[in-house]
Chain A
Amino acid sequence: MSERDPDNKHPLEKLMDNPWLLLVLGVVIPTVSYTVWGWIELLALPPATLP
Chain B
Amino acid sequence: MASAVESLPVSGNHQPSEVRTCETTSLPVCLTAQQFIRWHAVVAVVFLLIGGIGALLLGLTRWPAVHLLDAQWYYRILTLHGLNMLIFWILSFEIAVLYFAGTVLLNTRLASKKAAWACFVLMVVGGIMVDIAIMNGKSDVLMTSYVPLKASPDFYLGIILVAVGTLIGVINYLATIYIAKRDHTYEGAVPLVVFGATAAAIIAVVTVLHGAVVMIPTFLWSMGWIENVDPAWYRITWWGLGHMSQQVNVCAMVSIWYLLATLTVGAKPLNQAVCRTAFVLYILFINLASAHHLLVDPGVGPGWKIWNTSYAMYLAVLASIIHGFTVPASVEAGMRAKGFTRGLFGWLAAAPWSNPGFSGFFLSLIIFGFGGGITGVVLGTQQINIMAHNTLRIPGHFHVTVVGGTTLAFMALTYYVVPLIFQRDFYAKALCRIQPYVFGGGITLFALGMSFAGSYGVPRRHWDVEFTGSQLAMGFDSGAYTMLGVMGIGALVAVTGLFMFILLVVAAVFVGPKIAGQAMEPWHEERQAPADAAAVDEDEHHTPGTLVLAGVFLLTFAVYYFANWKWLSDVWEVR
Contacts and interface: CB of A to CB of B under 8 A. Distances in A.
User: Is there any pair of Cβ atoms, one from A and one from B, under 8 angstroms apart in the complex?
Assistant: yes
Interface of A: 1, 12-13, 15-17, 19, 22-23, 25-27, 29-31, 33-35, 37-39, 41-42, 45
17 contacts: A1-B2, A12-B277, A12-B280, A16-B280, A26-B205, A26-B283, A26-B284, A26-B287, A29-B284, A29-B287, A30-B240, A35-B237, A37-B304, A38-B294, A38-B308, A41-B299, A42-B299
A34 B290 contact: yes
A42 B283 contact: no
Contacts of A41: 299-301, 304
B299 A34 contact: no
A35 B236 contact: yes
B198 A22 contact: yes
Interface in B195-211: 195, 198-199, 202-203, 205-206, 209-210
A38 B177 CA distance: 34
Contacts of B210: 35
Given A33-B312, A35-B237, A42-B230, A16 B195 contact: yes
A21 B210 CA distance: 20
Given A1-B1, A16-B189, A39-B233, A23 B174 contact: yes
Contact of B202 (A13, A16, A23, A33): A23
Given A16-B189, A39-B236, A41-B299, 15 more contacts: A1-B2, A12-B280, A16-B280, A17-B189, A22-B202, A23-B174, A26-B206, A29-B287, A30-B206, A34-B240, A35-B240, A38-B291, A38-B300, A41-B304, A42-B299
B288 interface: yes
Interface residues of B, number: 40
A42 B174 contact: no
B285 interface: yes
A41 B198 CA distance: 32
A20 B308 CA distance: 24
Interface of B: 1-2, 174, 177, 189, 195, 198-199, 202-203, 205-206, 209-210, 230, 232-233, 236-237, 240, 244, 273, 276-277, 280, 283-285, 287-288, 290-291, 294, 299-301, 304, 307-308, 312
A25 B283 CA distance: 8
Contacts of B299: 41-42, 45
Contacts of B230: 42
Contacts of A19: 174, 177, 198, 202
A29 B273 CA distance: 22
A37 B308 CA distance: 10
A37 B304 CA distance: 7
Contacts of B2: 1
Please provide the 9 A-B residue pairs with the shortest distance between their CB atoms, ordered closest to farther: A30-B287, A26-B202, A38-B236, A26-B283, A1-B2, A41-B300, A23-B202, A34-B288, A34-B308
A26 B207 CA distance: 11
Q: Which of A17, A25, A31, A34 lies at the interface centre, i.e. has the most chain B CB atoms within 10 A of its CB?
A: A34
Nearest to B240: A35
A19 B244 CA distance: 19
Contacts of B285: 29-30
Given A16-B189, A16-B276, A34 B287 contact: yes
Nearest to B312: A33
Contacts of A30: 206, 240, 244, 285, 287-288, 290
Contacts of A33: 288, 307-308, 312
A41 B300 CA distance: 6
Contacts of A16: 189, 195, 276, 280
A15 B300 CA distance: 33
Contact of A22 (B277, B283, B301): B283
A1 to B, nearest CB: 4
A26 to B, nearest CB: 4
Contacts of B203: 26
